[in-house]
Amino acid sequence: MNAAVTNSTCLIGLERIQQLDMLPQVFTPITISPAVQSEVGISAPWLTIQAPQNRGIVRSLQTQIDEGEAATIALAMELGDVFVILDDLSARRIAQQLQLKVIGTVGMLLRAKQQGIISEVKPILDALTTANFRISEAIVRRAIQLADEE
């Protein structure tokens, strides 16, 4: 199983639809920064809270993205071979430029289906949309296509 560092967006979205327990079935261990912890206020036995050591990188990244995203990227850089779960386009772009393995909430759902954790992606995407989780219509369509659910 792959390790992951996640920003708050994925945690908030999954919690809104009571699907938070899906995350540790797809990735383990899962690490978040104290900045993300304070943003989401979620604690779970499978969630490890760890501060990035290099505060300079965090400060530098914060000139372009928020503190939670900056700390998430810095932590992923320090931990090495991990997936970084980011939904914000700017944060994703920066993480990709840093050669990190980037995945978003929708990508995590596709992995969950591939691994047999969920049988369908569409009902979860619908629930997220209903819960005011912002996903573009194009991404929803593409995910349903990739999941072979059209």
Kindly tell me the burial class for residue 41, based on how many C-beta atoms sit within 10 Å of its own C-beta (0-12, 13-18, 19 or more).
Answer: exposed
Residue 66 pLDDT: 94
Rg (CA), the chain: 15
Kindly tell me the burial class for residue 56, based on how many C-beta atoms sit within 10 Å of its own C-beta (0-12, 13-18, 19 or more).
Answer: exposed
Please report, for the domain that includes residue 93, its CATH number. Answer: 3.40.50.1010
Whether 58 is covered by a domain: the verdict is: yes
pLDDT band at 42 (very low <50, low <70, confident <90, very high): confident
Per-residue pLDDT of 92-125, as tens digits, reads 999 999 999 999 999 999 999 999 999 999 999 9
Whether 123 is covered by a domain: the verdict is: no
Whether 54 is covered by a domain: the verdict is: yes
**CA nearest 1: which of 46, 52, 59?**
46
Per-residue pLDDT of 44-96, as tens digits, reads 999 999 999 999 999 999 999 999 999 999 999 999 999 999 999 999 999 99
Q: Are 39 and 8 in contact (CB under 8 A)?
A: yes
Residue 43 pLDDT: 85
Range of the domain at 91: 2-105
Whether 6 is covered by a domain: the verdict is: yes
Whether 111 is covered by a domain: the verdict is: no
Q: How many CB atoms lie within 10 A of CB 40?
A: 18
Number of folded domains that form the chain = 1
Whether 131 is covered by a domain: the verdict is: no
DSSP state for residue 149 in the 8-state scheme: -
Averaged pLDDT for residues 120-142 = 94
Amino acid at 90: S
Whether 87 is covered by a domain: the verdict is: yes
Q: State the Cα–Cα distance between residues 79 and 59, nearest whole angstrom.
A: 18
Residue 29 pLDDT: 95
Whether 63 is covered by a domain: the verdict is: yes
pTM over cut 0.85: yes
